[in-house]
Chain A
Amino acid sequence: GNSVTQMEGPVTLSEEAFLTINCTYTATGYPSLFWYVQYPGEGLQLLLKATKADDKGSNKGFEATYRKETTSFHLEKGSVQVSDSAVYFCALSANTGFQKLVFGTGTRLLVSP
């Protein structure tokens, strides 16, 4: 079946450090890939997405590239801020009719001043 694997957290960084959160997936066909962010006490918000191989999604300084050869969609940001502290979820949609998302377990990011 379809699945998403994310790196264990928490990831603890100092402000302005470089961020990478790893995400790999298993899916049949050609899924769409997503990163969602959850700030404390809130629901999830879509951060970025990519719908086909080699696409790069980007938003708010974050970016991720759809790598079919390595089945990966790693999230990166060149310089994190304290306000980026949140839980980040990688997800896929199998694009086989009804849209259902399969989520990873989430990675908590803590950024200190």
Chain B
Amino acid sequence: AQSVTQLGSHVSVSEGALVLLRCNYSSSVPPYLFWYVQYPNQGLQLLLKYTSAATLVKGINGFEAEFKKSETSFHLTKPSAHMSDAAEYFCAVSPYNTDKLIFGTGTRLQVFP
């Protein structure tokens, strides 16, 4: 069965520091991959998606992620954290030729001044 693993349920960074949120997937066929963000008391919003085009994907709010097939990873990065980036981030995989998403358990990002 397909699955997604997010390493670290909580990540804390200082404002201006690099943000790195880790996501690994298990799939025999490269799937579609997504990162979603959830701000407090809100629904999920798409940050970026990988759909077998460019391996480096740029999203909103300065985030980007790189698909690495050899490592089965899709880590999310941002060069410089902002206070407004504090939220919960979910990695998700859509297995090939399905109509469902499988979510990771989420990583809560805290940004300190």
Q: Do A and B bind each other?
A: no
